[in-house]
C-alpha cells in the first residue's frame, strides 16, 4: 500500500504504472540469474511466461479501472524493487496522471493534521535576541502613537535637515575694554528667536585677533553643527593711561593726564609711603583731564607725594598709570624788577616760607602777557641753579618794548627704589611788567 508521507492518505496507482513496476521486477530477477545469483524467491519464470502473467494482470487492472473499482498496489514487501529518494518524486515525473487521494479506513489510520501555527497573542510574546517581545513594543508604541510617528518622521528627515545661518540670529554687542597686558576674550552670546542661547564649541567657534595690545580687536564667529555662516565683529582696547604732569599750585597739587578711550571717567589716587594708595576722587566725565588735590595745600613743604589714575567704564576699572612724584615746594614772590642797563632787566625774588627746599629757579618773560600764560606761547626762559640764588639779570631786550616776567622754583627728586629722577616745579610767582627805555 502506498501511503503519502505525513498525511496517512493512500495514493491511487494507475494501471500502466503497475505494469511498469511488475516488468521492472521481472527484469531485475533475470539479471540476477545471468550474473550467477539466485533468484529472489521461487523458480525463475521464462520470459514468455513472465510476460504473459504481467499482461494478464495488467488486463485485469484495466478491467477493474473501467468498472470504477479502486486500484490498490499489491503488497510488494517481499520483492526487490527500486526505492525513490526523498528528493525524487514519482508523481512529479508524471504530472499528467490523476493524483486524487482515496482514503482506506482499514489500511491506514487517518491522523488529524497537526497545526503548528501560532496564535496572534503567542507570536507577539516570542522574545527577540534582546529579550524584548513584540507585544511590549506594540504596547509601548500604542501609548503615544502620534509622538512616535512624529519622532520617526523627524528621524527620517534628519539627514536632510537644513542649517541655520548664525547671521539671522541676535549677537550681543561687545563692550570695549581697557588695556591689561593680557589676552582679552569677551564672552560671545548668540540668541535664538525663542531667547535660548547657542553653545560655544557645539553650535559655533570663536577666534580673536589683535586682542592684547591697544587698538581694535577682531572677533570671528563661525557656525558649526546645525549652524552655518560667519560673523565678524570687533571691540576697542584702550591704551595705557598716562599722567602728563603734576604741579604745585596755589590751591594744592595739580594733576593732569591724557584723555583716553573707551574710558567713561577716571579715578585719581595719591600714594605716600606712610599712607599707601588713597583713592581721593572719582571723575565721571571722560573729557575732564585735570584735578587739584586741595588736601595737600598747607602740608609741610618738601614732602613727596605720588599720583596716578585709573580709567573706569561700566563699573570696571582699568590698569593704573605710572606714578608721578611731586615734591611740595613753596612759591616765590618777585620783589624787584628794573631796567638796570641798555636792553637789560634785573629781577629779585624771595620765598614765602623760610625753607622752600628748592634746588633752583626759572625766570620766564615775554612781550605779551597772553604769551606768558599760554603754554604754547613764545615766552623765553632763563635758569638759575642753587636754592639761595634769588636774583637774575635778563639781557637782549628791545628798547621801547614792554616785557612781562614771572618766576618759579624747582626741585629734582630721585626715587629711592628705581633711582629715577623727576623735576618738580613750584607754582608761579606773581607777574610783573617792565618797559625798556634804554
Vertex 342, ends 337 and 346: CA angle to 5°? 20
Task: Delineate the domains of the chain, giving CATH numbers in brackets.
Answer: 3-102 (no CATH), 165-238 (2.60.40), 243-327 (2.60.40.10), 332-435 (2.60.40.10)
Average pLDDT taken over every residue of the chain: 77
- Residue 233's nearest CA partner among 173, 169, 166 is 173
- Residue 265's nearest CA partner among 322, 319, 317 is 317
Contact present, 268 and 312 (Cβ < 8 Å) = no
H helices of 282-328, in order, are none
Three-state DSSP state, 62: helix
Whether the bond into 262 is cis, omega within 30 of 0: yes
Contact present, 257 and 321 (Cβ < 8 Å) = yes
**Residue 145: per-residue pLDDT:** 44
Angle of helix 15-34 versus helix 47-66 axis, rounded to 10 = 170
Contact present, 58 and 18 (Cβ < 8 Å) = yes
d(CA 176, CA 170): 19
**Residue 79: per-residue pLDDT:** 47
d(CA 23, CA 13): 15
Contact present, 184 and 217 (Cβ < 8 Å) = yes
Cell of 15: 494501471
Residue 243 CB-density burial (10 A; 0-12 exposed, 13-18 middle, 19+ buried):
buried
Q: Which phi and psi angles does 107 have, rounded to 5°? A: -100, -25
Strand partners, 254: 247, 292
The model's pTM is 0.54
- Residue 219's nearest CA partner among 204, 203, 235 is 235
**Residue 138: per-residue pLDDT:** 40
Q: Which phi and psi angles does 212 have, rounded to 5°? A: -120, -55
Each residue of 331-363: pLDDT tens digit? 899 999 999 999 999 999 998 887 778 999 999
Contact present, 13 and 104 (Cβ < 8 Å) = no
**Residue 393: per-residue pLDDT:** 96
- Residue 365's nearest CA partner among 378, 377, 380, 376 is 380
d(CA 209, CA 185): 10
Q: Which phi and psi angles does 363 have, rounded to 5°? A: -100, 130
Contact present, 251 and 284 (Cβ < 8 Å) = no
- Sign for the CA dihedral angle at 184, 185, 187, 192 comes to positive
Q: What stretches in the chain show pLDDT beneath 70?
A: 1-160, 299
- Residue 307's nearest CA partner among 255, 359, 252 is 255
- Residue 26's nearest CA partner among 61, 72, 76 is 76
Q: How far is CA 302 from the centre of its chain?
A: 59
- Residue 363's nearest CA partner among 424, 428, 301, 423 is 428
Tell how strand 9-11 and strand 402-414 pair up: unpaired
- Residue 158's nearest CA partner among 248, 232, 251, 226 is 226
- Other C-beta atoms lying within 10 Å of the C-beta of residue 349: 26
Each residue of 14-62: pLDDT tens digit? 555 556 666 666 656 555 544 454 444 444 444 555 555 555 555 555 5
d(CA 131, CA 110): 41
Amino acid at each position: 500500500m502506498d501511503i503519502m508521507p505525513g498525511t496517512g492518505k493512500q495514493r491511487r496507482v494507475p494501471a500502466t504504472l503497475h505494469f511498469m513496476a511488475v516488468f521492472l521486477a521481472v527484469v531485475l530477477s533475470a539479471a540476477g540469474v545471468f550474473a550467477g545469483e539466485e533468484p529472489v524467491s521461487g523458480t525463475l519464470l521464462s520470459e514468455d511466461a513472465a510476460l504473459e502473467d504481467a499482461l494478464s494482470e495488467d488486463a485485469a487492472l484495466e478491467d477493474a479501472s473501467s468498472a470504477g473499482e479502486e486500484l490498490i498496489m499489491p503488497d510488494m514487501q517481499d520483492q526487490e524493487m527500486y526505492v525513490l529518494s526523498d528528493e525524487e518524486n514519482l508523481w512529479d515525473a508524471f504530472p499528467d496522471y490523476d493524483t486524487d487521494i482515496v482514503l482506506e479506513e482499514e489500511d491506514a489510520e487517518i491522523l488529524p493534521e497537526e497545526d503548528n501555527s501560532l496564535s496572534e497573542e503567542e507570536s507577539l510574546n516570542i522574545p527577540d535576541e534582546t529579550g524584548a517581545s513584540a507585544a511590549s513594543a506594540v504596547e509601548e508604541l500604542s501609548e503615544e502613537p502620534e509622538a512616535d510617528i512624529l519622532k520617526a518622521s523627524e528621524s527620517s528627515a534628519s539627514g536632510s535637515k537644513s542649517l541655520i545661518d548664525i547671521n539671522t540670529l541676535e549677537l550681543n554687542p561687545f563692550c570695549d575694554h581697557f588695556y591689561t597686558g593680557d589676552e582679552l576674550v569677551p564672552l560671545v552670546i548668540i540668541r535664538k528667536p525663542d531667547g535660548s542661547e547657542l553653545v560655544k564649541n557645539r553650535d559655533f567657534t570663536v577666534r580673536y585677533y589683535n586682542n592684547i595690545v591697544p587698538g581694535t580687536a577682531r572677533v570671528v564667529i563661525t557656525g558649526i553643527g546645525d549652524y552655518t555662516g560667519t560673523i565678524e565683529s570687533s571691540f576697542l582696547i584702550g591704551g595705557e593711561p598716562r599722567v602728563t604732569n603734576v604741579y604745585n599750585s596755589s590751591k594744592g597739587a595739580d594733576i593732569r593726564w591724557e584723555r583716553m578711550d573707551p574710558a567713561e571717567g577716571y579715578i585719581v589716587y595719591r600714594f605716600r609711603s606712610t599712607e599707601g594708595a588713597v583713592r581721593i576722587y572719582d571723575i565721571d566725565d571722560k573729557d575732564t583731564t585735570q584735578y587739584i588735590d586741595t588736601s595737600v595745600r598747607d602740608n609741610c613743604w618738601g614732602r613727596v607725594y605720588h599720583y596716578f589714575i585709573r580709567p573706569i567704564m561700566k563699573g570696571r576699572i582699568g590698569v593704573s598709570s605710572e606714578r608721578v612724584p611731586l615734591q611740595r615746594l613753596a612759591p616765590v614772590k618777585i620783589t624787584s624788577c628794573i631796567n638796570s642797563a641798555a636792553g637789560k632787566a634785573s629781577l629779585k625774588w624771595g620765598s614765602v616760607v623760610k625753607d622752600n627746599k628748592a634746588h633752583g629757579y626759572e625766570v620766564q618773560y615775554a612781550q605779551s602777557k597772553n604769551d606768558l600764560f599760554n603754554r604754547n606761547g613764545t615766552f623765553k626762559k632763563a635758569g638759575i641753579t642753587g636754592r639761595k640764588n634769588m636774583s637774575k639779570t635778563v639781557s637782549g631786550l628791545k628798547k621801547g618794548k614792554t616785557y612781562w616776567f614771572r618766576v618759579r622754583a624747582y626741585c629734582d627728586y630721585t626715587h629711592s627704589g628705581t633711582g629715577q629722577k623727576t623735576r618738580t616745579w613750584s607754582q608761579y610767582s606773581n607777574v610783573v611788567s617792565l618797559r625798556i627805555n634804554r
